[in-house]
Structure 1
Amino acid sequence: MPYPLIQSAQNPKIKRLYQLHKSHARKQEGLILIEGKKEISLALQAGIQLESLFFYPRYTPESWIESLPLDKQKVRIFEVSEEAMQKIAYRPESGVVATAPPPVRRLDDLQLPSNPLLIVVEAIEKPGNLGAILRTADAASVDALIVCDPQTDLFNPNVIRSSLGCIFTVPTICAPSETVIAWLKKRGVCIYTAALNASIPYHTADFTRPSALVFGTEATGLSDTWLQAADQNIIIPMSGYIDSLNVSNACAIITFEAKRQRGFKR
């Protein structure tokens, strides 16, 4: 079916989408920006209800739009020119951008199995690192990612893009560190903190029991709040000149060791 065509990058709707790249505009509008076919497909699979969708037919054919499980009466769909797509998309070749209300997720809403494996990150600053951690969490099928005291918007378009949409496939919660620690201890989840001091090699830890793998920033590591709450500090042995890895790499290594110990069961 034909959709309304927006030619100009100065169109008010295009200007509105451009503004949604900024955190204050997303908060004011109560919307997130989702770019890319894979990312939009995963959002829809997760039950996200789109508000609007803009596509450039050279890269995103109308047939793909028609294949989406959308309520065409509720979602406003527009074809846009190349000029307009270049304004609203970080990667114009993705060919499609959508807006949606962000999902509301709370710690107490998490439904955990009897032997959960969780990833916890504290004060993560870089959207690319958070996106990479989300990809690890999805690939390892962890039960949740808990983001404590974040320094970046969880639904920053860069997080959505760098996670390839895994922000929608992994139960992801924001909460203060003290709240999360109390929640974990109440549920008997063992807290393993990645730290440089007083630590055992990560592969010697027992991750077969209910486990939370906790990571801090590269600059300062984890706060004393987490280090004092830990059941065990763990470390990845370094054989070179540096003493630590990028947080997303460290997370991947330790998470997949935990999965190995668990027989890679989902």
Structure 2
Amino acid sequence: MKTRKISSAAHPLIQQAAALARRRREEESGLFSAEGSHLVEAALEASAPIRQVFFSLGYRRSEEGERLLLRAERAGAELIEVPDHLLKKICDAATPQGIMAMVASSATPLSALPRSENPLLAVCDAISDPGNLGTIIRIADAAGADGVILLPGCCAPYAPKVVRATSGSLFHLPMIRANPEELTEFLAGRGIPLLATDLNGDISLYDADLRGPCALVVGNESRGTSPFLLERAQRRLRIPMPGKAESLNAAVATALCLFEAVRQRSRPPQP
């Protein structure tokens, strides 16, 4: 196994990786970090373009480390051994797991979203919390959604906390940045209804027909869905809350909506 060693914090690759951990250079470098064995393995499973893999000596000596590093080498990644203190410097997690990969991020335009027979899309309207966004991506993956659309105001989808919260799901489905005007034009062109969550929605989630194509919008954690999208939505979905809570967490609301669509779509057709 061919590896190189870096021991200086001044090395350009270490500085670049450390900047990614602080999420300062994601946009300009086109890279993001995937920390820990699970995320690195998920990237390899998805044939994601891994540029470098940083690891500690202790990790390499483990059975899991030897297996994963050999696999990363076969995938074309450069293997770089670093001391523990440098690994901690280039990782966002408080306790690094011994391995971190630098992966090339991908930008999928709306027009390149693959057509499907019965599309189901998750639309994030200014979701600002990294944990929420990462969890929504994971939920969308679990529900079999065709993609996650990120509108302005969303936090960076490749920020370390978002990537960790996806638990690898970001490698499984397209993540698409768009503005609201582009989105509504795209949905109209493809015949996909826009359904927006709204505390004062005109129909209960459980009375809405989600068996056909739909793009489900979940709004900002404090402001909800934007007026622009509410005005253009075919239906405004209200999630019934018989208790005293005023609202639901954005990721929870997404899970309820997407899996209600899954439930309805899994029912046999009515005679």
Q: Same fold (TM over 0.5)?
A: yes
Q: Which amino acid aligns with 1:228?
A: E
Question: Are residues 176 and 264 of structure 1, via their aligned partners in 2, closer, same or farther at CA, if it must alter by over 3 Å?
Answer: farther
8 Å contact 1:43–1:165 — kept in the other structure?
Answer: yes
8 Å contact 1:59–1:93 — kept in the other structure?
Answer: no
> Does the residue aligned with 2:21 lie in a helix, a strand or coil?
coil
Map of 1:219-230 to 2, 5 A cutoff?
219-230=222-233
8 Å contact 2:22–2:92 — kept in the other structure?
Answer: no
1:101 lines up with 2:142 in the alignment: no
1:118 lines up with 2:124 in the alignment: no
Moved more, 22-31 or 165-174: 22-31
1:189 lines up with 2:188 in the alignment: no
Map of 1:233-244 to 2, 5 A cutoff?
233-244=236-247
CA deviation after TM superposition for structure 1 residue 53, in Å: 0.9
> Does the residue aligned with 2:185 lie in a helix, a strand or coil?
helix
Residues 155-207 of structure 1: per-residue CA shift (max 9 Å, x gap): 11211111112111111111001111111122111221100114211011100
Residue aligning to 2:160: 157
Structure 2: distance between partners of 1:155 and 1:70: 25
Question: Are residues 56 and 199 of structure 1, via their aligned partners in 2, closer, same or farther at CA, if it must alter by over 3 Å?
Answer: farther
Question: Are residues 198 and 133 of structure 1, via their aligned partners in 2, closer, same or farther at CA, if it must alter by over 3 Å?
Answer: closer
> Does the residue aligned with 1:234 lie in a helix, a strand or coil?
strand
Structure 2: distance between partners of 1:241 and 1:175: 35
Report how many residues are paired.
263
Residue aligning to 1:67: 71
Q: Which amino acid aligns with 1:62?
A: E
8 Å contact 2:128–2:221 — kept in the other structure?
Answer: no
Q: Which amino acid aligns with 1:21?
A: A
1:76 lines up with 2:78 in the alignment: yes
1:218 lines up with 2:221 in the alignment: yes
> Does the residue aligned with 1:97 lie in a helix, a strand or coil?
strand
Q: Structure 2 regions of 5+ residues with no counterpart?
A: none
Residue aligning to 1:54: 54
Percent of aligned positions that are identical: 33
Residue aligning to 2:172: 169
> Does the residue aligned with 1:222 lie in a helix, a strand or coil?
coil
Moved more, 100-109 or 89-98: 89-98
Residue aligning to 1:247: 250
Q: CA RMSD in A?
A: 2.0
Structure 2: distance between partners of 1:85 and 1:42: 20
8 Å contact 1:44–1:69 — kept in the other structure?
Answer: no
CA deviation after TM superposition for structure 1 residue 223, in Å: 1.0
Moved more, 75-84 or 240-249: 75-84
Residues 198-226 of structure 1: per-residue CA shift (max 9 Å, x gap): 42110111000111111101210111111
8 Å contact 1:7–1:83 — kept in the other structure?
Answer: no
Moved more, 8-17 or 118-127: 8-17
Q: Which amino acid aligns with 2:194?
A: I
Q: Structure 1 regions of 5+ residues with no counterpart?
A: none
Question: Are residues 124 and 81 of structure 1, via their aligned partners in 2, closer, same or farther at CA, if it must alter by over 3 Å?
Answer: same
Residue aligning to 1:42: 42
Moved more, 207-216 or 12-21: 12-21
Using structure 1 for the length normalisation, give the TM-score.
0.91
8 Å contact 2:2–2:79 — kept in the other structure?
Answer: no
8 Å contact 2:30–2:104 — kept in the other structure?
Answer: yes
Residue aligning to 1:140: 143
Moved more, 61-70 or 191-200: 61-70
Residue aligning to 2:14: 14
Question: Are residues 63 and 57 of structure 1, via their aligned partners in 2, closer, same or farther at CA, if it must alter by over 3 Å?
Answer: farther
Using structure 2 for the length normalisation, give the TM-score.
0.89
> Does the residue aligned with 2:211 lie in a helix, a strand or coil?
coil
Q: Which amino acid aligns with 1:88?
A: I
